[in-house]
Amino acid sequence: MSNEHDLVELNVTGMHCNNCALSVHKLLEKKGLQDIHVDFANEEVKFSGAEDSSLPTIIKDIEGLGFKVYEQEEAPQEKFYDKIENRFYFSLIFTIPLFSHMFLPFHWLHNPYIQLALCLPVFILGAIHFGKSAFNSLKNGMPNMDVLIFIGFTSAFIYSLVGTAFELGANYMFYETTAVIITLVLLGNLFEKRSVSQTTSAIKDLLKYQQVKATRIKGETHEVIDSRTIQSGDILLVNTGDKIPADGDIIWGDASVNESLITGESIPVEKTKYDSVIGGTLVEHGTIKISATKVGKHSVLSQIIEIMKRAQSSKPPIQRLGDKVAGVFVPVVVSISALTFILAYFAFNIELGDSIMRAIAVLVISCPCAMGLATPTAVMVGLGRGAKKGVLIKGGATVEEMANLKYMVFDKTGTLTTGDFNIKAMDVIDISKEDAASIIVGLESYSNHPIAKSLVKELQSQVVKKFIFTEVKEIKGLGIKAVDNDGNTYEIGSNKIINSGEDDFDIYLKRNNNLLVKISIEDQLKPDAKELIDILKEQKITPILLSGDRKEKCESVAKKLGIEVVYAEKLPQEKLDIIDSYKEQGTTAMVGDGINDAPALTTADVGISLGNASQVAIQSAKVVLLNNDLKSVITLLKVGKHTLITIKQNLFWAFFYNVFAIPLAALGFLGPMLAALAMAFSDVVVIGNSLRLKIKKLN
């Protein structure tokens, strides 16, 4: 159990299906709590907005529904008789002979007392399994689906029991109906539990990466420890083939590290001393010693897992609709069932037994588990599919927003362009090109600015002699000032250093106040930028360029890519105002490189952060693209679109199934046993359709 940032996490056991999860969800909603997430497959309940003093009452009420809240450390082993599979097998053993009397010629199977003996264990199991949940949900004023199931099989059992007691004959024998309903609904629950645990497999896969052994170096000794016990500052040895046990910095050695877990990119990255490494990634070749920096909840992988868990819990608006329908469903269905019986028996003079069976069939077939599963299963699979491709989506609601996107706003440098610069033109005055290159490389090697690095990289090969500078000073926003051995002063920087209105070049170099060099540079476009802009236009999404860079630069990039709307030379606050104005016109996404675009990413409906999984990017954006490429934005659009299609298909099948099946049951075309089978089948159809998203070709 933890309580961090007002978010309370509880571990709850005993939840077998979506019904149980819905009961807990409604209970917490009734208490006015927010950010509620109930995941029965992972036994997790999360919510915020609770006072510390009210927590014991909330726990007591959850346990009042028939579940058990436990501490993470003392995770209880599910008892043999509590396991859903064992309950199903137990009821199946008695149900098969009971059901077989309908087509086997053994006379003794028709004996009402033998049928009662075979049915009784199944009925008791059903009464415990569904009755407890039904009773607790009624007690809390939130009737769940188990109420329908319980009324259904109990009615059939009592009716048969009365027939046996008063020897009323074969027309009163519906013991097999009781047993088959219980067995088939348990089978449905079993399918549900197994399928949902498949849909949450993306998180389970990530958790496996965290559970590794580590070699800690203390003085001369090496000790093997569990990665969960690593502390910040520990020195760890990692050899070829080992998973890196924690985030850290290399202090010795070099290695090829496969970071596909984080970035989706399978080509290993070469790492050497002082480079940082991420826990869970794999050393393919080499041996390194690292100093652990971020451990436990602060590691990149832990934060990704946390994002995935929260994402799977946030409900898109389309699911809230399903929840509302499910909320009024039980009383409506019980009323339809009662009406079915009254009309059949009193208005149409149908036999008592047949009238009761029709009413029971209505109860059993209506169970809208499929409706409850429609959205979460699709969202889980969609998010998992995105995560495998290095696209971290922080919530079900984001999926829906991506599918309804009107505008996509791009930052320029580092987003549409690589951040690497080429020299477009270089004019030299009273100096040779080689000397100019030597001076520029000498000065710019003192700076970490991306433009400085690009100039050094491009001009390095033209250097003919080394200029020695005695004083070097970098002035932010202006450039570099320096003095050489002979007392000459140099300045390199933007047009601000020449105090003239000239604006045709980007970088100027002066010696002793005389202009020596004028350089015009251009930013390289990212390889997938053009394809992405074309796809956006095809999908009627307007691409917009929003940058603080010079107008000519922005217009040049926009022209190459085919972007018609350009905002240049904008300050951070102006960027926010522009995004706000677009949000009023339609759903707006902002794509930026995380650090400097954090405010804009937070303001947009969907903030998409390119770049390394930096702290700021993870916190401010709704989507983090771990690969740092624009192809991931295309993946994101596809995942969003297909997840929403899957949700709509699921909801259609779930609603259509109920609308179609209830009248059939009421008219007597579907008996209770067929109804129970159909109900289990509807869950399987919905979950199967969601799982299809795992392998579906995304166009």
Task: Kindly list the structural domains of the chain, giving each domain's residue range(s) and its CATH number in brackets, ordered by start.
Answer: 2-78 (3.30.70.100), 82-200+308-379+645-695 (no CATH), 231-294 (2.70.150.10), 390-417+526-631 (3.40.50.1000), 418-525 (3.40.1110.10)
pLDDT value of position 508: 92
Element (H, E) at 375: helix 369-388
Query: CA 379 to CA 392: how far, in whole Å?
Result: 13
647 or 628: which leads in pLDDT? 647
Does this model's pTM top 0.75? Answer: no
Length of the chain: 699
* 151: β partners: none
User: Lowest-confidence range among 146-150, 261-265, 429-433, 618-622?
Assistant: 261-265
User: Average pLDDT in the 458-487 region?
Assistant: 86
Element (H, E) at 71: none
Query: CA 212 to CA 226: how far, in whole Å?
Result: 6
pLDDT for residue 288 is more than 90: yes
Mean pLDDT, the chain, integer: 83
- What pLDDT digit, counting tens, does each position of 389-443 carry? 888 887 777 887 888 899 999 988 778 988 677 888 899 998 999 999 999 999 9
- What pLDDT digit, counting tens, does each position of 532-567 carry? 999 999 999 999 999 877 788 889 899 999 999 999
- What pLDDT digit, counting tens, does each position of 182-233 carry? 888 888 778 767 766 655 555 666 677 777 889 999 988 999 998 888 999 9
pLDDT value of position 36: 85
* CA angle at 79 for the pair 76 and 84, rounded to the nearest 5°: 110
Instruction: Report yes or no: 259 and 281 within 8 Å, Cβ to Cβ.
Output: yes
pLDDT value of position 569: 81
Query: CA 264 to CA 261: how far, in whole Å?
Result: 6
pLDDT band at 303 (very low <50, low <70, confident <90, very high): confident
- What pLDDT digit, counting tens, does each position of 1-57 carry? 444 447 888 988 888 766 678 788 888 988 889 888 887 767 889 888 888 888 999
pLDDT for residue 381 is more than 60: yes
pLDDT value of position 372: 66
Residues whose CB is less than 8 angstroms from the CB of residue 391 and which lie 6 or more positions away in sequence, other chains included: 264, 623, 624, 625, 626, 627, 632, 635, 636, 639
Query: CA 424 to CA 466: how far, in whole Å?
Result: 25
- What pLDDT digit, counting tens, does each position of 138-168 carry? 877 777 778 878 888 998 898 889 889 888 7
pLDDT value of position 73: 53
pLDDT value of position 319: 57
pLDDT value of position 613: 43
Backbone torsions φ then ψ of 107, nearest 5 degrees: -65, -40
Query: CA 133 to CA 289: how far, in whole Å?
Result: 54
pLDDT for residue 653 is more than 90: no
Query: CA 385 to CA 695: how far, in whole Å?
Result: 9
Amino acid letter for position 351 = E
pLDDT band at 313 (very low <50, low <70, confident <90, very high): low
SS3 35: strand
- What pLDDT digit, counting tens, does each position of 346-378 carry? 999 998 888 988 988 888 777 656 776 777 778
User: Average pLDDT in the 620-626 region?
Assistant: 81
pLDDT band at 261 (very low <50, low <70, confident <90, very high): low
User: Average pLDDT in the 258-283 region?
Assistant: 79
Backbone torsions φ then ψ of 348, nearest 5 degrees: -105, 5
pLDDT band at 511 (very low <50, low <70, confident <90, very high): very high
The beta-strand segments (E) located in 294-366 are: none
- Taking each helix axis from N to C end, the angle separating 84-100 and 175-199, rounded to the nearest 10 degrees, works out to 150
pLDDT value of position 491: 93
User: Average pLDDT in the 174-180 region?
Assistant: 86
Query: CA 365 to CA 668: how far, in whole Å?
Result: 12
Burial 425-439 (b: 16+ CB within 10 A, else e): ebebeeeeeebbbbb
Parallel, antiparallel, or unpaired: how do β-strands 213-218 and 44-48 relate? unpaired
pLDDT for residue 92 is more than 90: yes
Burial 513-531 (b: 16+ CB within 10 A, else e): eebbbbbebbbeebebbee
Would you name the residues annotated as active-site residues?
411
CA distances from 81 to 90, 91, 125, 150, 652 (A): 9, 12, 10, 20, 36
Backbone torsions φ then ψ of 581, nearest 5 degrees: -65, -35
pLDDT band at 642 (very low <50, low <70, confident <90, very high): very high
User: Average pLDDT in the 579-588 region?
Assistant: 94
pLDDT value of position 74: 58
User: Average pLDDT in the 89-116 region?
Assistant: 85
pLDDT band at 174 (very low <50, low <70, confident <90, very high): confident
3-state secondary structure 567-621: ECCCCHHHHHHHHHHHHCCCEEEEEECCCCCHHHHHHCCEEEEECCCCHHHHHHC
pLDDT value of position 311: 56
pLDDT value of position 4: 45
User: Average pLDDT in the 288-305 region?
Assistant: 84
pLDDT for residue 290 is more than 70: yes
pLDDT value of position 267: 65
User: Which residue, 568, 577, 631, is CA-closest to 603?
Assistant: 577
Residues whose CB is less than 8 angstroms from the CB of residue 378 and which lie 6 or more positions away in sequence, other chains included: 643, 646, 647, 650, 689, 690, 693
Element (H, E) at 310: helix 300-313
Query: CA 554 to CA 631: how far, in whole Å?
Result: 21
